[in-house]
Amino acid sequence: MDNHDRILEVESLKKYFPIKKGFLKRIVGYVKAVDDVSLSIREGETLGLVGESGCGKTTLGRCILRAIEPSEGTVRFKTRVGETVDVTELENKELRKIRRDMQLIFQDPYSSLNPRMTVLNIVGEPLICNGIASGSELRERVKELMELVGLDKRHLERYPHAFSGGQRQRIGIARAIATNPKFIVCDEAVSALDVSIQAQILNLLQDLQKRLNLSYLFISHDLGVIQHISNRVGVMYVGKMVEMAATEELFNNPKHPYTEALLSAKPMPDPRMKTKRIILQGEVANPAKPPSGCYFHPRCKYATELCKREMPVWSEVGAGHYVACHYANQLDLQGAVVQ
């Protein structure tokens, strides 16, 4: 991949939460929420990040923005002036400056908006904090943003409770693009919405991406949504990245057994396509006490003794296709059914 058009490069990122027990709060272990993850995103691209509960995708998104402090690793980001900085090393003042370039859209349209602030206040806040606009200029800018996201600008002075879930999500999006960012982390941005509203918001995000040349890290547990909006997809399991490839390649030609199981688990909206399901046994592993060797081995139908002993290495198995599995190229895995 051409280095020149990379906007984000994450290397060996770790976030370990200490587990403290007892009166003296001794550290007895760690929840390895993000465990040595690397990825990169090009300008104008959408990297989808998929995985189930506890896989670390939300924590990874927050670490990249430094909303949570990473334990280890680097996050190199190309700012709007073309400078590349390591987000993890920045002092507060510089961090505040680049925060204009990296934003976040949250999942829950109900808890992510302050119920006591009007739309003007909510969407205007980043403009005020960053010294970008004030007074009548602020009003005009907020109205512009509202129109961009499909909201009626006459509703400027309304409070969140007056809007539906989909509309609130639009407010959240307007807030995120207010400072003209280059990169947005969409953390389950459509998961709480009804299907028909979800489609509206996905269309909006794609339109904005084209108009404003945005790059997205799109986090979701929904494979259909990920497939629709992403150029490339990363699959996470218990804090680790287990596979990454271009979207079509990942869906048609998965190389990791967990990806295969995820693809097969999703029910297809067509009764004529009841695929032969791979039903995984057991539950998702506990990130505070992960299994030995490959974290996925207890649930993997292809697992061997090697898998129990040794952690597989992240390696490139095809053009731009990366996997962490001892048997990556030896397994004949089932891809998603293509309509």
Binding site for another protein (CB under 8 A): 52-53, 164-167, 194-200, 202-203, 206, 221, 223-225, 227-229, 247-248, 251, 261-262, 264-274, 277, 279-280, 283-284, 336-339
DSSP 3-state of 5: helix
Min separation Cβ 44 and another protein, Å? 13
Which residue number, 138 or 223, has a Cβ lying nearer to another protein?
Answer: 223
Of 28, 21, 57, nearest in space to 217 by CA: 57
Q: What is the DSSP string of 149-215?
A: TT--GGGTT--GGGS-HHHHHHHHHHHHHTT--SEEEEESTTTTS-HHHHHHHHHHHHHHHHHHT-E
Min separation Cβ 250 and another protein, Å? 12
Which residue number, 50 or 98, has a Cβ lying nearer to another protein?
Answer: 50
> What's the N-to-C CA distance of the chain in angstroms?
30
Min separation Cβ 329 and another protein, Å? 24
Which residue number, 11 or 108, has a Cβ lying nearer to another protein?
Answer: 108
Give the Cα separation of 185 and 270 in Å (integer): 32
Min separation Cβ 269 and another protein, Å? 4
Which residue number, 244 or 262, has a Cβ lying nearer to another protein?
Answer: 262
Which residue number, 26 or 274, has a Cβ lying nearer to another protein?
Answer: 274
Min separation Cβ 309 and another protein, Å? 24
The one-letter amino acid at 125:
E
Question: What torsion do the CA atoms of 158, 159, 162, 168 make, to the nearest 10 degrees?
Answer: 110
Structure token digits, residue 165: 């879930």
